[in-house]
Amino acid sequence: MHRRPIVIANWKMHTNLAEAEILAWRVSQVAERVDDIDLVLLPPVIWLPSLLESLHHRPRSLHFGVQNFYPLAEGDLTGEIGTAMLKGLATYALIGHSDRRLHFGETDEVVREKLHAALKSGLAPILCVGELTKVVLKARTRGRPTVLERKSDILKQLRSAVTGLAHHQAERLIISYEPLWAIGTGLPIPAADAQAVIEQIRAVLVDELSAPVAARIRTIYGGSVTNETIADYMEQPDIDGVLVGKASLEAKTFLPLAEAVANRVHHRIQHADH
Ligand code: PGA
């Protein structure tokens, strides 16, 4: 089954408003030319209203999302942003990113709660799964963990999040495999390794949700992806896209990456036609 490729830009706690507006505008210019992929920007939430206003005739393939939210519509929760406030601002929501799991103590239970809240409010969740500390420690001290060692952590996170999801909702999910030692380090993992883990992720999705539902869920890779490495990832049968941090912060590194994904899709479609 053909799944629409997706490139997600996670700006984290970077950019000022002027930088954000210029970058989003530059990305929208690429989005004008590409119709077969989704380009998703996750700016700091505070910039969202201005970005949407400055790009109110934006192309169909350009979307906005949030890096974080509280899993309730609204409430007495000082400093938080509830899902009801995101209506009209965001269509995607990042959930379970390792920054949140490690620095803000977000557990599998919280991740599950956020996943349900996102789906309930109409947001498309981008669920990140990746290895936890023990395995990462090994990665840092004695070389990278084997695929088998990584699997248990990742698959536990995944099962805990997706068990019991209604099938019609689960189809909107995007799962991003994010090995901790590859995030923000400039050390991406080989595309074949990412493929091996994502293949396992797809097997769990089939097991938990059925083959037809799993076939619609996009699975992507995130961790130090650049314009130089993007092609290798997109070659893999189970990798439908990428989540990009550092390389998404500048037009000169992000635009070629997005174009490369779009060209690849074009190429595939042309081949399929012949
Ligand atoms: P990076 O970030 O591309 O800078 O490694 C990836 C991520 O946020 O998951």
| 245-271 pLDDT tens trace | 999 999 999 999 999 998 877 666 666
Contact by Cβ (8 Å): 128, 180:
no
Q: What is the mean pLDDT of residues 81-88?
A: 98
Beta carbons within 8 Å of 94's beta carbon, 6+ residues apart: 8, 10, 42, 65, 66, 67, 68, 126, 128
- Residue 35 is predicted with a pLDDT of 85
Indicate whether residue 229 lines ligand 1 (CB < 6 A).
no
Q: Is the pLDDT of residue 152 over 90?
A: no
Secondary structure E strands in the chain: 6-10, 38-42, 62-66, 92-95, 124-129, 174-177, 218-222, 241-244
Work out which ligand 1 atom sits closest to the CA atom of 188.
5
Residue 47 corresponds to which amino acid? W
**3-state class (DSSP) for residue 125:** strand
* 27-72: pLDDT as tens digits: 999 999 988 999 999 999 999 999 999 998 899 999 999 999 999 9
For 2-11, 146-155, 221-230, 256-265, which range has the lowest pLDDT when averaged over its residues?
Answer: 146-155
- Residue 139 is predicted with a pLDDT of 55
Q: CA of 54: how far to CAs of 24, 47, 64, 178, 240, in Å?
A: 9, 11, 13, 32, 29
Give residue 50 CA to ligand 1 midpoint distance, Å.
25
**Structure pTM?**
0.93
Q: How far apart are CA 6 and CA 29, in angstroms?
A: 16
